[in-house]
């Protein structure tokens, strides 16, 4: 009986074709809303109001982006969001690592108890009002640190990092300690350099969370000069606040006029594109970091 290795049957080819077509259509349904907003943001009012599938601008115009970048509140929101994302992500990663590393050591007294106490916070929290009162009593109202300190360590991220550290060979750390290295030297000189996948993974999680967050800014920040981009976007897109829009009213007789809907589309793209650009640089660490960090523990 002869057998051809590597040759697919008709059923296998049909199944592969169905998979490709189905997944392509599924991916398109997920990506199309983003494409639609992008096309509208680069369209003239007449082209933007045309019904039907929009895959490219029928009449190209960048006036909406000119209007968005001329809006001072967009830049204020950008500054506050970048400040929060950079500082917040840095502190998140540092404190998550400092919490996860000792909990990964079997010789730590009551290690399981401390871990369970942290896991408990994933299911039960104080609630909105106690959190607000805590921030108020700490004197953090209308302070940018109110957007960073309450969520300094995410329990889920800490558990993932802890499990990753537990997967590392203990012999590496033991040899370093025999040479006189203390725990901090071992952590920062040996453990962290070989933990780039998990560090990159949680850093992206924290960065995306900070970039997209707006509700805590709505609660704790009353000064418009300290509000984040997500709140500016919310006020422009949902509330239509004149204070935050600062755009000229639509006049169809004026050359290069833009409608509020085009302005909203351009604002959404301006707020979304930067964080999307970060993904390609850390995506390669995702699978390795999450898989290793979730297997042991």
**Structural domain includes residue 228:** yes
Count the neighbouring beta carbons within 10 Å of the beta carbon of residue 243. Answer: 9
- Helix, strand or coil, per DSSP, at residue 213: coil
CA–CA separation, 229 vs 217, rounded Å? 10
**Structural domain includes residue 254:** no
Q: How many domains does the chain have?
A: 1
pLDDT score of 240 more than 60: no
Output the average pLDDT for the chain: 83
| Top-confidence residue, 260 or 27 | 27
**pLDDT confidence tier of residue 245, bands split at 50, 70 and 90:** low
**Structural domain includes residue 248:** no
CA 30-48-240 angle, 5° bins: 85
**pLDDT confidence tier of residue 270, bands split at 50, 70 and 90:** confident
Alpha carbon separation from 183 to 122, 176, 187, 213, 293 (Å, rounded): 28, 9, 6, 35, 21
The pTM score is 0.79
pLDDT score of 96 more than 90: yes
**Structural domain includes residue 26:** no
Looking at residue 267, the DSSP 8-state letter turns out to be: H
**Structural domain includes residue 140:** yes
Alpha carbon separation from 175 to 158, 167, 187, 205 (Å, rounded): 26, 17, 13, 33
288 Cβ partners below 8 Å, 6+ apart? 197
Q: Which of 48, 74, 29 is nearest to 268 (CA)?
A: 74
Mark residue 110 as left, alpha or beta (left: phi above 0; alpha: psi -120 to 50; beta: remaining). Answer: left
CA–CA separation, 225 vs 258, rounded Å? 27
What is the mean predicted confidence (pLDDT) over 230-237? Answer: 82
pLDDT digits (tens, 9 = 90+) for 130-179: 999 999 999 999 999 999 999 899 999 999 899 888 888 888 788 888 87
pLDDT score of 244 more than 70: no
Cβ-based burial of 139 (10 A; exposed 0-12, middle 13-18, buried ≥19): exposed
Q: List helix spans (H) across 169-259.
A: 170-178, 183-186, 196-212, 215-220, 229-234, 242-245
**Structural domain includes residue 200:** yes
**pLDDT confidence tier of residue 291, bands split at 50, 70 and 90:** low
Q: Token digits for 119?
A: 């896991």
Q: Token digits for 62?
A: 């960048």
pLDDT score of 256 more than 60: no
Q: Residue 217: which CATH number?
A: 1.10.3720.10
**Structural domain includes residue 279:** yes
Looking at residue 62, the DSSP 8-state letter turns out to be: -
The greatest distance separating any two alpha carbons of the chain, rounded to the nearest whole angstrom, comes to 82
Please say whether the dihedral angle defined by the alpha carbons of residues 193, 196, 202 and 206, taken in this order, is positive or negative: positive
pLDDT digits (tens, 9 = 90+) for 45-83: 888 877 777 888 888 888 888 888 888 888 999 999 999
**Structural domain includes residue 103:** yes
Note down the domain range covering 187.
68-243+271-295
Q: What is the pLDDT of residue 250?
A: 46
């Amino acid at each position: 009986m002869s057998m051809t290795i590597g040759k697919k049957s008709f059923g296998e080819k049909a199944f592969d074709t169905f998979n490709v077509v189905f997944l392509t259509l599924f991916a398109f349904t997920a990506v199309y809303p983003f494409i639609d907003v992008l096309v509208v943001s680069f369209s003239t009012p007449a082209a933007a109001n045309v019904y039907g599938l929009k895959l490219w601008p029928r009449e190209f115009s960048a006036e909406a982006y000119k209007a968005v970048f001329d809006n001072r509140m967009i830049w204020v929101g950008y500054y506050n969001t970048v400040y929060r994302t950079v500082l917040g992500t840095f502190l998140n990663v540092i404190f998550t690592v400092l919490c996860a590393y000792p909990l990964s050591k079997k010789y730590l007294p009551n290690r399981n108890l401390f871990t369970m106490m942290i896991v408990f916070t994933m299911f039960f929290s104080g609630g909105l009002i106690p959190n607000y009162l805590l921030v108020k009593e700490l004197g953090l109202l209308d302070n940018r640190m109110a957007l960073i300190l309450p969520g300094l360590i995410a329990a889920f991220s800490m558990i993932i990092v802890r499990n990753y550290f537990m997967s590392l060979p203990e012999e590496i750390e033991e040899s370093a300690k025999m040479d006189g290295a203390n725990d901090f030297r071992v952590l920062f000189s040996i453990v962290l350099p070989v933990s780039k996948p998990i560090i990159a993974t949680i850093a992206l999680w924290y960065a995306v969370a900070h970039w997209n967050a707006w509700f805590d800014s709505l609660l704790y920040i009353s000064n418009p000069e300290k509000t984040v981009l997500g709140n500016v976007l919310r006020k422009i897109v949902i509330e239509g606040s004149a204070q935050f829009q600062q755009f000229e009213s639509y006049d169809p007789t004026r050359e290069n006029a833009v409608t509020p809907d085009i302005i909203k589309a351009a604002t959404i793209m301006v707020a979304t594109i930067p964080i999307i650009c970060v993904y390609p640089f850390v995506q390669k660490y995702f699978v390795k970091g999450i898989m290793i960090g979730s297997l042991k523990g």
